[in-house]
Amino acid sequence: MTSPLVGMRAVVTGAAGGIGAALAAELIERGASVVLADLSPTVGDTAALLGTSAFAWTGDVSSVEGIGALIDSADDRFGGIDLYFANAGIIGPSMLGESDADWDTIIDVNMRAHIRAAQALVPRWQEAGSGYFVATASAAGLLTQIGSAAYSVTKHASVGFAEWLAMTYRDDGIRASVVCPMGVNTNLLDDAGPAGGAAQKAVTSAGTVLEPAEVAAIVLDAVENEQFLILPHPEVLEMYRMKGSDYDRWLRGMSRYQARLSEQ
């Protein structure tokens, strides 16, 4: 069967590697053209490996100016944007962080980048009668992240914002999805290393660590079906249900789990 993504014009942020690069590769495999955006200039190497339907853009995808320049670049290349994958993310400080600056950076990358992109794209999508916004959040956005308040809070915000987009602009033909994986074999998981050992253990011990290509295929299958909540690790749904069914019991259990991880 022909993919509904054939001929679509996509932007993927955080695309130099990891889930972003895998999403770009899978989009191209399904017939889309993609601008790969990243702060790292290695995004050019990634795009070069993906062929003539991939184009690199280097810059800050969290700032208003950067997002504006990225959208202008995609417009110049494609004449418009049909899908925007807000995939760039950072792990941020461990525990409570030490300063406002710690929080400002992760809020900009993990949350405000989504808001700023939507502010630029939604009006044009309303006029066109279609558009698709896909946010990469985390299972931490439904559950929590042991060892990192900032990561947990910003991923909760990412889920909440995508949910609001999906509800508010549905009748305008605009769709939104949010991706909430647990462990994925990316640099982000490595970044939780020694300084965030409890955070890393919480992720790697909770379920299978997937490869980015596996996640990308799951995400685009769901996007083709206009599915809002995308769970590469299906067991997250049961964890989420348990949390909602008895919040206090869940908090006590998570506290015990955190203690065991710290002992290890």
Residues annotated as catalytic (active site), given as ranges: 151
Tokens of 135: 């946010």
Nearest of 67, 223, 222, 70 to residue 132 by alpha carbon: 223
- Other beta carbons within 10 Å of 209: 15
CB burial of 61-70 (b: ≥16 within 10 Å; e: otherwise) equals bbbeebbebb
Dihedral of CA 162/167/24/211: which sign?
A: positive
* Strand (E) or helix (H) holding 56: strand 54-58
Nearest of 164, 11, 162 to residue 81 by alpha carbon: 11
- What residues contact residue 114 under an 8 Å CB cut-off, 6+ apart? 86, 133, 135, 158, 161, 162
Give the three-class secondary structure for 59: coil
In this structure, the strands spanning 9-13 and 33-38 are parallel
